[in-house]
């Protein structure tokens, strides 16, 4: 379960950002494919510009480092309790330039291995969209990832929440993990940082069976906080997440975003 602690809106400058969104043109028009980039390299394929296509994210070669928000790193390490304009303005230099809904969330991340029991793609997605017509296999994100909220929105819609790392847990420092484990055990809530998108999707044809026929997928791509997030998953304790949610880069309307805000507010 995720809880919205605080929220605001901001137009981020992106003046120090090495992160970007990319949707390559095709014959002069915005193409189907959407990407999150890191230092100009494709880090994640974040799905197609199609609201009836299955939701997905897929790690690419550019996902290989974190993005430290400069002088705000210490404040995030200690944990934010509320959103302060000066802090958000500073952090806004490190995300892609544009307008954002900034959310401070408390969530409990659960690490998921592709194909395992909790894998969204092998289970909830396959139940609604089926598997790949050629291979007969579910989508594979090419990375472990975290799940957080899974909350009904009315009778036939459901919110699914994901936290996606930029590099594998094998790169993490054991010493730093121990430090965060101690902080979490003491009741602290360190804050991770992410740029986020919301994709609202449902297939054109719906087979009889699934009760949920529309998936609202809120995905947080971790920029900073890989140690915090993994330590929280191991300890089964919550941490906080500062999410810069871009409506412009989402497959969702402003009304969809507002509805998610209400759901997370409880």
d(CA 249, CA 197): 6
Burial of residue 65 (number of CB atoms within 10 Å: 0-12, 13-18, 19+): middle
Q: What is the pLDDT of residue 27?
A: 61
pTM score of the predicted model: 0.95
Q: Which helix (H) or strand (E) holds 254?
A: helix 254-264
Closest residue by Cα to residue 36 from 69, 67, 58, 51: 58
CA 181 to chain centre: 22
pLDDT tens for the chain, 266 residues long, are 799 999 999 999 999 999 999 998 776 666 789 999 999 999 999 999 988 999 999 999 999 999 999 889 999 999 999 999 999 999 999 999 999 999 999 999 999 999 999 999 999 999 999 898 888 999 999 999 999 989 999 888 999 999 999 999 999 999 999 999 999 999 999 999 999 999 999 987 655 556 788 999 999 999 999 999 999 999 999 999 999 999 999 999 999 999 999 999 97
């Amino acid at each position: 379960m995720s809880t919205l602690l605080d929220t605001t809106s901001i137009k981020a400058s992106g003046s120090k950002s090495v992160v970007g969104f990319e949707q390559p043109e095709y014959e002069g028009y915005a193409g189907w494919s959407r990407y999150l980039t890191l230092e100009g390299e494709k880090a994640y394929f974040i799905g197609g510009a199609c609201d009836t296509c299955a939701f997905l994210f897929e790690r690419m070669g550019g996902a290989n480092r974190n993005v430290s928000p400069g002088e705000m790193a210490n404040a995030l390490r200690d944990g934010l309790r509320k959103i302060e304009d000066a802090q958000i303005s500073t952090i806004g230099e490190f995300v892609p330039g544009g307008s954002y809904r900034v959310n401070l969330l408390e969530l409990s991340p659960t690490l998921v291995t592709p194909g395992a029991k909790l894998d969204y793609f092998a289970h909830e997605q396959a139940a609604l969209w089926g598997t790949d017509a050629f291979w007969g296999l579910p989508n594979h994100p090419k990375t472990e990832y975290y799940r957080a909220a899974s909350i009904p929105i009315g009778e036939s819609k459901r919110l699914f929440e994901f936290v996606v790392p930029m590099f594998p847990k094998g790169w993490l420092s054991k010493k730093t993990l121990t430090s965060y484990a101690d902080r979490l055990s003491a009741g602290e809530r360190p804050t991770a940082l992410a740029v986020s998108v919301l994709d609202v999707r449902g297939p054109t044809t719906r087979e009889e069976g699934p009760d949920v026929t529309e998936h609202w997928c809120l995905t947080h791509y971790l920029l900073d906080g890989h140690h915090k997030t993994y330590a929280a998953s191991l300890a089964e304790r919550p941490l906080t997440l500062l999410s810069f949610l871009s409506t412009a880069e989402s497959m969702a309307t402003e009304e969809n975003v507002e509805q998610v805000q209400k759901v997370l507010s409880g």
